[in-house]
Amino acid sequence: MKSRYDIAIVGAGPAGMAAAAAAAGHGASVLLLDEQSEAGGQIYRAVSRQNFKDRNILGSDYYEGLDLVSELASSGAEHVTGATVWQVSPEREIGVSKDGTARMVTAGQVILATGAQERPFPVPGWTLPGVMTAGGAQSVLKSSALAAPDAVFAGSGPLLYLVAYQYMKAGIPVRAILDTTPRANALRALPHLPAALRSIGALMKGRRWIASLRAAGIPFIKHIEDLKLTGTDCVTGVEYRRGKRWRKIDAAQVFLHQGVVPDVNLAMAAGCAHRWSAAQLCWHAETDAWGETDIPGIAIAGDGAAIGGALAAEYLGRIAAHGALHRCGCLGRAERDSLAAPFRRALAGEMRLRPFLDALFRPPRRLRIPQGDATIVCRCEEVPAALIRESVALGCLGPNQLKSFSRCGMGPCQGRFCGLTVSEMIAEARGVGVAEVGALRLRPPVKPLMLEELAALAVEPVSMPGKR
Amino acid sequence: MASSTHTADAIVIGGGLHGCAAALYLARSGLRSIIVEKDHVGRHASGVNAGGVRRLGRALPELPLADAALAQWRNIRDLVDDDCGFASPGQVKVAETEAELQALKARRETLLAHGFGHEEIIDAKQLRELVPALAPHCVGAMRVRGDGHADPFSTMQAFKRKALSLGVRIFERAPVETLQKRGGTWRVTSARGGLEAPVIVNCAGAWGGRIAGMLGDYAPVEVQALMLMITERLKPFVKPVIGAQGRSLSFKQFGNGTVLIGGGYRGRAEPERNLTHLDFGGLAANAAAAAALFPAMRGARILRCWAGIEGHMPDGIPVIGAGMEEGVFHAFGFSAHGFALSPIVGKIIADLVATGAADLPIGAFSIGRFSRPAA
Ligand SMILES: Cc1cc2nc3c(=O)[nH]c(=O)nc-3n(C[C@H](O)[C@H](O)[C@H](O)COP(=O)(O)OP(=O)(O)OC[C@H]3O[C@@H](n4cnc5c(N)ncnc54)[C@H](O)[C@@H]3O)c2cc1C
Ligand SMILES: Cc1cc2nc3c(=O)[nH]c(=O)nc-3n(C[C@H](O)[C@H](O)[C@H](O)COP(=O)(O)OP(=O)(O)OC[C@H]3O[C@@H](n4cnc5c(N)ncnc54)[C@H](O)[C@@H]3O)c2cc1C
């Protein structure tokens, strides 16, 4: 790693790989950083060293990632694996740790391609051992071909069905799928159907997964309105409600999922402006047509800015790369525009499906905002829902202020996992919009950093403390 | 709302610990006050500080106040109905060389000459017994028993709650925009409407110089962004608060196991936008100091670094006392060590307002010590 690059990209998923490949070869020095041990991001995790011999298990969409991985490898961009980025400053200084050594790299242009994370699912018992996210289960399957048999999959959204389908294809028994997609969503999604029908192929994929799961005899229970995970030391069962009736199934393993939201942590810590998206129920970065944020020289591409899926992420990565090349003087305006044009067209096609998916899989309020008082919201500091409501009653106006009322968001994850829940809860309790309440602000380091790594950072202090 | 006028006996500008403490003591003297705060209570230095309560190393003029404050901290529940997380495991300032130890001894002599005996010198062996985790090269230390720390969050909340319960009104998100005197009455305009009172108390922290200017006084406040970092929870390994004679370091482990590391390193402040920016070079130097004194900490994970906006005076001691105009009182510019003093300064201000006199010496803190630079 050098100490300075023209363009630095954080995240080697489809957005970051495409951005790096597109940016290289125009005379700019390009650095791509990712904490994973190989390129791929979420969707194409470990694609270049996949253990499963049978390609049907993870499916053809997954192996499409190989093209991007090889395009990246031959592009001339410098890809550093195992590199955790713990800060990006408005001056585009990137703090990165690799193999226990921290360093500061500066870049003329930064593209954040940090992707998505799964939406919190704060139902009673969600923090019990034996409960994890469906995406987490999929990561283990992709990277080490490990899986837990007889799991209950609960929640909603394409990724939930996909992971269950991949499990089934891998021959791992699935106990049941409890679908929490609200019945009323179909009606709300209807107006977006005509546009979505133009991407009929993608639309049918999900239906095919569900049909295959059903055909394999896996119970697929729809319209579940409420969920509880039970057990004392670890999860032993799932209680679910349809209408007025509660039922229970035993389970030693539960995979929860209700959609993905942008991973905004680095961008927010850098100070990039975000707005609340009522359609996707999450924070979106304010970006221009090239992905550039309100902080000059910092752009965001892919699911890290707004959820669009892997193909959209790839196109957005290429578009952002051309924007960055232009800003650093490597591409003229006309050339930039014409090189980016095909990707803009492809992106528009890809985004036709989004409003339909957003409406269809919109998670219900009662599964986003804990209903009971005892449900844990912040798992690091074990803060229950009641404490957050009490804090609002005592005058707490927003998630950052909440730190002085409870320790919510002050543990190791700094609120990366509970931030959305907290903002929505405070908004509900105050009776105002989430935009007014704001987001939990992360402080650098955005990922934990060892004291000795920080101590060895070769950066001179700007000022030394005066003697007191 | 914006057109109504609120009246009180005093208007306190700034909802930090000092504003709340002053309002609380004013209420105890039977005076009704309104706190106007531009953001929310505890948004700035008072809500993000290190919570250190020390006499160790304080400037001489502050010592009588620090002594009196410590007595209040010991019984803080009587004042605010909450223990504020106060603990008094002592504070220790480590010497790593003989020369540093000599400097500490000289300081002790100076204090003794002024009648203060709280700073003791301990040798290497006593130091090791007191702080076994300390690096073995340390040769001795200064120790102050009874010093300690409190939890800044619960302290801030407790002071606010107590003030409210005594009838203090708090207007948040109400920046003071103009200040005018008509007859014997100060008139304040803010986003929450007009306010009138015969007395203004300036507790505006880093913004105290600006407010002083609006009141006809002058104080050269330097706005600084002081940085801190905190680790994950670690097994208890150090009780007293640790500082060092030869390094900029302040180091303490809280009851929940997290370790707070500071040392006066500065980031960059943008007080107009309520923003601070970290300087990782400074944090690195700070981390290096901590790692040198506590080798076992090297592998500990830092979870968060932050900076708080604080007002510094050129001589490192605050402004406390009456202003030039009738009915004006100041308490700001606490220069990175005002948390510990807040209960006593609140009392001093209330005494000044109510009786015109304080029962502790505050002459050194007069705003009159600064003279306006020639234009
Ligand atoms: C758990 C999970 C599983 C998913 N699986 C699928 C799937 O199978 N199929 C599908 O169509 N969609 C899947 N998605 C949706 C996915 O968001 C998109 O399909 C696509 O991966 C988005 O591409 P991206 O390039 O924007 O981000 P990602 O592919 O998410 O890539 C982001 C990359 O940034 C890296 N990164 C983030 N922060 C840092 C940091 N601070 N330092 C260093 N590196 C960092 C991550 O390691 C990651 O490799 C999944 C999402 C999640 C959250
Ligand atoms: C990182 C850090 C660590 C520290 N550690 C310690 C420690 O260990 N021990 C110790 O004793 N001290 C410590 N301090 C210092 C201590 O925190 C401060 O001295 C103390 O909190 C000052 O309190 P205050 O009420 O004067 O100021 P503040 O808490 O800053 O309050 C002033 C308030 O005035 C408001 N205001 C300003 N202008 C206006 C306006 N125009 N209208 C309305 N409101 C206005 C501001 O918004 C602010 O909330 C530390 C400080 C920092 C930043």
pLDDT at A404: 79
CB-CB: which of A451, A463, A464 is closest to B297? A451
Tell me which amino acid residue A63 is.
Y
Averaged pLDDT for residues B102-127: 97
Judge: A443–B264 Cβ closer than 8 Å, yes or no: no
List b or e across A94-120, with b for residues whose CB sees 16 or more CB atoms inside 10 angstroms.
bbbbbeeebbbbebbbbbbbbbbbbbb
Q: Considering only the top CATH level, what class is B91-145+222-312?
A: alpha beta
Instruction: Provide the residue ranges of all domains of chain B, joining segments of one domain with +.
Output: 5-51+153-219+315-369, 91-145+222-312
- The Cα–Cα gap between B213 and B207 comes to 10
Ligand 2: centre distance to CA B110 (Å): 30
Judge: B284–A456 Cβ closer than 8 Å, yes or no: yes
Percent of the residues in chain A that have a pLDDT greater than 90, as a whole number: 90
Nearest residue to B254 via CA among B268, B239, B242, B274: B239
Sign of CA pseudo-dihedral B297, B299, B303, B308: positive
Judge: B303–A414 Cβ closer than 8 Å, yes or no: yes
Fold agreement (A4-117+261-331, A369-437): no
CB-CB: which of B40, B298, B304 is closest to A451? B298
Q: Is the pLDDT of residue A104 over 80?
A: yes
Look up the CATH number of domain A369-437.
1.10.10.1100
Q: Is B278 on the interface with A (CB under 8 A)?
A: yes
Q: Is the pLDDT of residue B269 over 60?
A: yes
Q: Is B268 on the interface with A (CB under 8 A)?
A: yes
For chain B, positions 39-58, list CB contacts with chain A under 8 A: 40, 42-43, 47, 57
For chain B, positions 63-82, list CB contacts with chain A under 8 A: none
A140 band by pLDDT with thresholds 50, 70 and 90: very high
User: Which atom, in ligand 2's list, is nearest to the CA of B175?
Assistant: 42
CB-CB: which of A457, A466, A468 is closest to B280? A457
The fourth-level CATH superfamily of domain A4-117+261-331 is FAD/NAD(P)-binding domain (3.50.50.60)
Averaged pLDDT for residues B171-175: 95
Q: Considering only the top CATH level, what class is B5-51+153-219+315-369?
A: alpha beta
The finding on whether B192 has its CB within 6 A of some atom of ligand 2 is: no
Residue with tokens 């943008």: B270
B12 band by pLDDT with thresholds 50, 70 and 90: very high
pLDDT at B146: 96
**DSSP letter, residue A403:** G
Please state which of the ranges A199-203, B61-65, B261-265 shows the lowest mean pLDDT. Answer: A199-203
Is there a contact between B44 and B37 (Cβ–Cβ < 8 Å)?
no
pLDDT digits (tens, 9 = 90+) for A292-351: 999 999 999 999 999 999 999 999 999 999 999 999 999 999 999 999 999 999 999 999
C-alpha distance from B354 to closest chain A C-alpha (Å): 30
Among left, alpha and beta (phi > 0; psi -120 to 50; other), residue B113 is alpha
pLDDT at B2: 47
Q: Is B273 on the interface with A (CB under 8 A)?
A: no
What is the interface size between A and B, counted as CB pairs within 8 Å?
121
C-alpha distance from A80 to closest chain B C-alpha (Å): 22
Percent of the residues in chain A that have a pLDDT greater than 70, as a whole number: 99
Averaged pLDDT for residues A41-48: 96
Residue with tokens 């201000």: B349
Instruction: Provide the residue ranges of all domains of chain A, joining segments of one domain with +.
Output: 4-117+261-331, 120-258, 369-437
pLDDT at B369: 97
Among the bound ligands, the one closest to the CA of B341: 2
Judge: B153–A404 Cβ closer than 8 Å, yes or no: yes
Ligand 2: centre distance to CA B48 (Å): 8
Among the bound ligands, the one closest to the CA of A95: 1
The torsion defined by the Cα of B317, B321, B327 and B328, in degrees rounded to 10, comes to -10
The finding on whether B311 has its CB within 6 A of some atom of ligand 2 is: no
Ligand 2: centre distance to CA B64 (Å): 21
Judge: A465–B156 Cβ closer than 8 Å, yes or no: no
B373 band by pLDDT with thresholds 50, 70 and 90: confident
On chain B, the residues whose CB falls within 8 A of the CB of A95 are: 280
Is there a contact between A87 and A102 (Cβ–Cβ < 8 Å)?
no
A409 band by pLDDT with thresholds 50, 70 and 90: confident
A467 band by pLDDT with thresholds 50, 70 and 90: very low
Nearest residue to A260 via CA among A452, A114, A50: A114
Q: What's the whole-number average pLDDT of chain B?
A: 96
pLDDT at B196: 97
Q: Is the pLDDT of residue B375 over 80?
A: no
Averaged pLDDT for residues B62-84: 98
Is the pTM for the entire model greater than 0.90? yes
Judge: B302–A449 Cβ closer than 8 Å, yes or no: yes
C-alpha distance from A8 to closest chain B C-alpha (Å): 19
User: Which atom, in ligand 1's list, is nearest to the CA of A303?
Assistant: 26
Q: In what order do the strands lie in the sheet with B319-322?
A: B169-171, B33-36, B10-13, B199-202, B328-332, B319-322
Kindly provide the residue ranges of all beta strands, DSSP E only, lying in A222-295, ordered along the sequence. 226-230, 237-242, 245-250, 254-258, 260-262, 274-277, 282-285
Residue with tokens 């104080």: B219
Fold agreement (B5-51+153-219+315-369, B91-145+222-312): no
Q: Is B290 on the interface with A (CB under 8 A)?
A: yes
pLDDT at B3: 58
List b or e across B209-238, with b for residues whose CB sees 16 or more CB atoms inside 10 angstroms.
bbbbebbebebebebbbbbbbbbbbbeeeb
Please state which of the ranges A187-201, A403-417, B107-121 shows the lowest mean pLDDT. Answer: A403-417
CB-CB: which of B156, B303, B337 is closest to A404? B156
- The Cα–Cα gap between A114 and A291 comes to 13
User: Which atom, in ligand 1's list, is nearest to the CA of A162?
Assistant: 8
Judge: A461–B231 Cβ closer than 8 Å, yes or no: no
Please state which of the ranges A336-345, A406-415, B177-186, B288-297 shows the lowest mean pLDDT. Answer: A406-415
On chain B, the residues whose CB falls within 8 A of the CB of A90 are: 277
Helix orientation angle between A310-327 and A333-351, rounded to the nearest 10 degrees: 170
pLDDT at A441: 86
CB-CB: which of A271, A459, A465 is closest to B265? A465
Q: Is the pLDDT of residue A468 over 60?
A: no
pLDDT digits (tens, 9 = 90+) for A175-206: 999 999 999 999 999 999 999 998 888 889 99
Nearest chain B residue to A447 by CA: give it: B303
User: Which atom, in ligand 2's list, is nearest to the CA of B306?
Assistant: 1
Averaged pLDDT for residues B164-179: 96
The torsion defined by the Cα of B305, B309, B313 and B317, in degrees rounded to 10, comes to -70
pLDDT at A464: 84
Judge: B40–A403 Cβ closer than 8 Å, yes or no: no
Q: What's the whole-number average pLDDT of chain A?
A: 95
Nearest residue to A188 via CA among A366, A352, A360: A360
Averaged pLDDT for residues A355-372: 96
pLDDT digits (tens, 9 = 90+) for A45-69: 999 999 899 999 999 999 999 999 9
Is there a contact between B74 and B343 (Cβ–Cβ < 8 Å)?
no
Nearest residue to B199 via CA among B10, B4, B43: B10
Judge: B265–A457 Cβ closer than 8 Å, yes or no: no
Other CB atoms within 10 A of residue A59 CB: 15
pLDDT digits (tens, 9 = 90+) for A116-136: 999 999 999 999 999 999 999
Averaged pLDDT for residues B67-91: 97
On chain B, the residues whose CB falls within 8 A of the CB of A466 are: 264, 316
B1 band by pLDDT with thresholds 50, 70 and 90: very low
pLDDT digits (tens, 9 = 90+) for A258-298: 999 999 999 999 999 999 999 999 999 999 999 999 999 99
User: Which atom, in ligand 2's list, is nearest to the CA of B308?
Assistant: 53
Please report the DSSP string for B121-158 in residue order: EEEHHHHHHH-TTS-TT--EEEEETT-EE--HHHHHHH
- The Cα–Cα gap between A136 and A452 comes to 30
Who contacts A85 (Cβ-Cβ below 8 Å, separation ≥6)?
A10, A33, A35, A94, A95, A96, A266, A446, A447
At residue A123, φ and ψ (nearest 5 deg) are: -100, 165
As beta bridge partners, residue A274 has A285
Averaged pLDDT for residues B131-143: 97
pLDDT at A391: 94
Which residues from A are below 8 Å from B when comparing CB atoms? 87, 89-90, 93, 95, 104, 271, 394, 397, 401, 403-405, 410-412, 414, 443-445, 448-452, 454-457, 459-466, 468
Burial of A310 (0-12, 13-18, 19+ CB in 10 A): buried
- The Cα–Cα gap between A49 and A58 comes to 13
- The Cα–Cα gap between B156 and A394 comes to 13
On chain A, the residues whose CB falls within 8 A of the CB of B161 are: 394
ipTM of the complex as predicted: 0.91
Among the bound ligands, the one closest to the CA of B337: 2
The structural architecture, per CATH, of the domain A120-258 is 3-Layer(bba) Sandwich (3.50)
On chain B, the residues whose CB falls within 8 A of the CB of A454 are: 229, 280, 283-284, 287, 302
